[in-house]
Amino acid sequence: MSKIEEVTKILQELEDKVSDIIGSAVIRTNGLVIASALPGESNERMIAAMSAALLGTSKRSAEALFNGSFKSLNLELDKGNMFLIGAGRVILVAITQKEPNIGLVTLEMEDTSKKIDDIFKVEE
């Protein structure tokens, strides 16, 4: 099984575990999609580009404000939420329905991000 197939399977498992998640993706920090389980009507490229932009701003904010590093972001919108979490060299993104169970989404995304990080780890 290729890495992309592995990640796609992991994304589907995440969506199966958390019914509030309506789509998810793994993207590179430059905004390119690696794997996606986003709904058909979603604009994957736009979501990936916006996610990368949000990540960049969040990283700079964490460094400037707290001399820290980015962990995650929850963007609450009027029609749903967008969650971003670092997964090593890539970003895990999830789109949810309105008023999701934030604790459950975050918990499962943290677990999923570790699995994804393991897949894309660079051997030293």
Q: What pLDDT, in 10s, does the model give residues 100-117?
A: 999 999 999 999 999 999
Predicted TM-score (pTM) of the model is 0.91
pLDDT of residue 57: 93
| Mean pLDDT, rounded, for 3-23 | 95
pLDDT of residue 120: 86
pLDDT of residue 123: 57
Architecture of domain 1-67: 2-Layer Sandwich (3.30)
Cβ(25)–Cβ(14) below 8 Å: no
- Grade residue 41 by pLDDT with cuts at 50, 70 and 90: confident
Question: In 3D, which of 119, 63, 62 has the Cα closest to residue 90?
Answer: 119
- Grade residue 121 by pLDDT with cuts at 50, 70 and 90: confident
3-state secondary structure of 52: helix
- Grade residue 6 by pLDDT with cuts at 50, 70 and 90: very high
